[in-house]
Structure 1
Amino acid sequence: MQAVPPPMVRRLDRTDVPLLYPLIRISLPHISLRDWIRIGRRMARPGTRVHEGILVAHYGPGRPPCAMATFRRGFDLYSGDTLTADYILTLSYTHQQKIIDALLPAMETLAREMGCDAIRTLSHSNRVLNQDATVRKLCSTSHITERIVRLDHNKEILHPS
């Protein structure tokens, strides 16, 4: 059996918006198709000054997206300018880690292009699956975890005295 190649990752295109709705409907059922089209078109805006959007993963040209990650640029008192990925959604449970492994370098490239010092990812998962003691729990139900990765490990943040 031939191994599945890693997916390709790129910024959301307007043509991806309707193709991503099945993933949205499964993951975020409260969002209607009409609302998603409005949100997706806004997130697909091109331009160098855009500070939010969506990365999509797909297994080759002409193939529909198999995953998406929302992102936004913001500021954090500890980390400075930070690229935050609030949602990483995948269609494939069996290839989920391979998809995430493809999304993370694309997020790092995007963060550097946007002048960010760190990447923050938020994972929304089942409490039982989320018992990694190295990941800080953000809420009492333990279904959201936060992970921050510094892009430049040699840079110190100077705290005011």
Structure 2
Amino acid sequence: MYERILVPTDGSNVAEVAVDHAVDIAEKYGAEVHALFVADVDAVAYGLGTEQVDRIQQGNFSGMTDLREDAEEATGYVKEQAEARGLTVVERHAGGRPHDMIADYAEDHDIDLVVMGSHGRSGVRRALLGSVTERTLRSTHVPVLVVDYVAGDD
């Protein structure tokens, strides 16, 4: 049923809970796990020049140490959890509008299931879904499992 599972991650606690669910499902089905970190260019563009924004959109975070470290840490967690269970992992860092990048990645890589957190690093638990999660649900035809984080809310 599931051959390729996508886990968009920003490294937040709720994303890590989603990783646990994704890896568990992948193990049951012998699926490949795809870890995707998307730098939101709309959020970072204000303090950067056009050249830096272009590099981010291409997934090139060189010269942006904090962003590169965040991306590597977030997808590295997915890789660590999945490889511990003998699963194949594909890591990808990208820049753009997160919901568009997630939907495009899912379509381009024949993803069977997207597993993502209900909200990201917004710092506040919301009654409604996070904007990236909500927009992803509207942007893709791939099934999306939304995982919530309750204990110790961000």
With the length of structure 1 as denominator, give the TM-score of the two structures: 0.29
Q: Select the structure that is richer in strand.
A: 1
TM-score (norm 2): 0.30
Structure having the higher helix fraction is 2
Largest Rg, 1 or 2: 1
